[in-house]
């Protein structure tokens, strides 16, 4: 009986000493899944007509949300009457779920009929069919200069509403 007890104690000691330690907990790494494109174009069409397009030097699409971040972009918004806006900016985000575009970083937009808009930000709001420029906004066309904190338009800035610190000067010299 003493031998069996001694063997049992030795077996328990051997099991305790030779059992490996569990590996340390690995930190959980949140790996966002993204697709990256260089020199790609996003666009939207309705009834066979292009509504807008955005071409960017670099695009990163989050596969979970389908939102796309754009770097160094050139875009176009097209009107029913054939007129259009070309815009350039350093950065933008396309939110696919809302079909909205948010652009910032030295925004410059030029219309096909000669108007020019500069702003800190420019947003395309799909539901309202509206372009909204905000932050140090300036619109020039012919001899008209309009500035404000926010300018909204539903027709490529042919007609627009100015909100906040609004100022319109007729007879201003056109800045090239």
* Domain ranges across the chain: 37-170
φ and ψ of 172, to 5 deg: -70, 150
Q: How far apart are CA 79 and CA 155, in angstroms?
A: 7
Better-scored residue on pLDDT, 78 or 88: 88
Class of the domain covering 37-170: mainly beta
The model's pTM is 0.72
The whole-number pLDDT of residue 88 equals 96
pLDDT band at 70 (very low <50, low <70, confident <90, very high): very high
Query: Could you tell me the CA-to-CA distances from 170 to 134, 144, 161 in Å, in that order?
Result: 21, 5, 16
Strand pairing report for 49-62 and 34-46:
antiparallel
In 3D, which of 167, 163, 143, 142 has the Cα closest to residue 151? Answer: 163
- Which helix (H) or strand (E) element contains residue 12? helix 2-18
| DSSP reduced 3-state for 15 | helix
Query: Per residue in 99-130, pLDDT tens?
Result: 888 999 999 999 888 889 999 999 988 888 88
């Amino acid at each position: 009986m003493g031998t069996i007890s001694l063997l049992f104690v030795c077996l328990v000691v051997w099991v305790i000493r030779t059992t490996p330690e569990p590996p340390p907990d690995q930190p959980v790494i949140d790996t966002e899944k993204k697709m990256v494109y260089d020199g790609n174009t996003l666009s939207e069409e309705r009834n066979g007509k292009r509504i807008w397009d955005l071409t960017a030097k670099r695009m990163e699409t989050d596969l979970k949300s389908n939102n796309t971040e754009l770097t160094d972009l050139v875009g176009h918004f097209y009107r029913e009457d054939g007129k259009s806006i070309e815009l350039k900016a350093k950065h933008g985000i396309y939110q696919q779920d809302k079909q909205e575009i948010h652009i910032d970083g030295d925004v410059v937009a030029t219309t096909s009929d000669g108007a020019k808009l500069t702003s800190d930000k420019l947003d395309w709001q799909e539901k309202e069919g509206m372009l909204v420029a905000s932050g140090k906004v300036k619109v020039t066309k012919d001899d008209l200069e309009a500035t404000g904190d926010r300018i909204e338009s539903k027709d490529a800035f042919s007609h627009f509403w100015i909100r906040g610190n609004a100022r319109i000067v007729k007879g201003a010299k056109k800045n090239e």
